A and B are shown apart, each in its own frame.
Chain A
Amino acid sequence: QSVLTQPPSASGTPGQRVTISCSGSSSNVGSKYVYWYQQFPGTAPKLLIYTNNQRPSGVPDRFSGSKSGTSASLAISGLRSEDEADYYCAAWDDSLSGQVFGGGTKVTVL
């Protein structure tokens, strides 16, 4: 059981908007920044969103992040086939003194 809770799957047709939720607690999401990682099968994760809502250079602006209280979300607008991947939220947890990840959400483009 992951400390951060994500839906196991999400899907949409090309062009649609998909949103992934990430629920935590006051010791992690509620008091720390949230980060999102994208992972394709057989490859290492890649930083997608940092400090709740910032995109590293090279990440399309179709990806956006937000946070409110102890929950965060990742939105993919204008869904494309190449967005099919696993997405993980993460945050530092002060109570555990460690990084915690969500269980991951598999995005499927129908």
Chain B
Amino acid sequence: EVQLVESGGGLVKPGGSLRLSCAASGFTFSTYSMNWVRQAPGKGLEWVSSISSSSSYIYYADSVKGRFTISRDNAKNSLYLQMNSLRAEDTAVYYCARDLGRIVGNAEFDYWGQGTLVTVSS
């Protein structure tokens, strides 16, 4: 059974940093692109970042570019999101999601974690 379990969320002050983790199991992690998607309270979904299976291709939303860094450790079946210079508008539930990769050049998120809440407030 495919499982994605996020951790690392919490309360942080503006300007602070936080590192999110996503532990994957039930599939060959090293062969899939992975993503972070966030959802601010009462708002819609916002894609944050994606990383290819071998970390060769990395993309970021403009809203986080230069502040967030996505990475993965295929030996540990884990995905990470290092978040620096956090702002109040980064407050959201952060989901990790697997990209099935059915068709090149498209993104299909077939499995999602349960999410971890990040709150940026003084």
Chain A interface mostly helix, strand, loop or mixed? strand
- Contact A92 B105, beta carbon cutoff 8 Å: yes
User: What total of chain A residues lie within 8 Å of the partner, measured CB to CB?
Assistant: 29
Q: How large is the interface on B (under 10, 10 to 19, 20 to 34, 35 or more residues)?
A: 20 to 34
Query: Is A99 touching B110 in the complex (CB atoms < 8 A)?
Result: no
Is there a chain B Cβ closer than 8 Å to A35's Cβ?
yes
Q: Is the CB of A96 within 8 A of B109?
A: no
Known interface pairs A50-B102, A88-B45, A90-B107; A96-B35 also in contact (CB < 8 Å): no
A-B contact count (CB 8 A): 70
Interface-side segment among B13-21, B58-66, B69-77, B84-92: B58-66
Q: Kindly name the residue among A44, A90, A100 whose own CB sees the greatest number of chain B CB atoms within 10 A.
A: A44
Which B residues are closer than 8 A to A by beta carbons? 35, 37, 44-47, 50, 59-62, 95, 100, 102-103, 105-110, 112-115
Beyond A51-B102, A51-B103, A101-B45: 10 further Cβ-contacts under 8 Å?
A2-B44, A39-B45, A44-B95, A56-B110, A88-B45, A90-B45, A98-B59, A98-B60, A99-B47, A102-B44
Can you sample 9 A-B contacts with CB below 8 Å? Answer: A35-B109, A44-B113, A45-B109, A50-B100, A90-B107, A94-B105, A99-B47, A99-B50, A99-B107
Q: Which residues of A contact B (CB under 8 A)?
A: 2, 32-33, 35, 37, 39, 43-47, 50-51, 56, 86, 88, 90-92, 94, 96-104
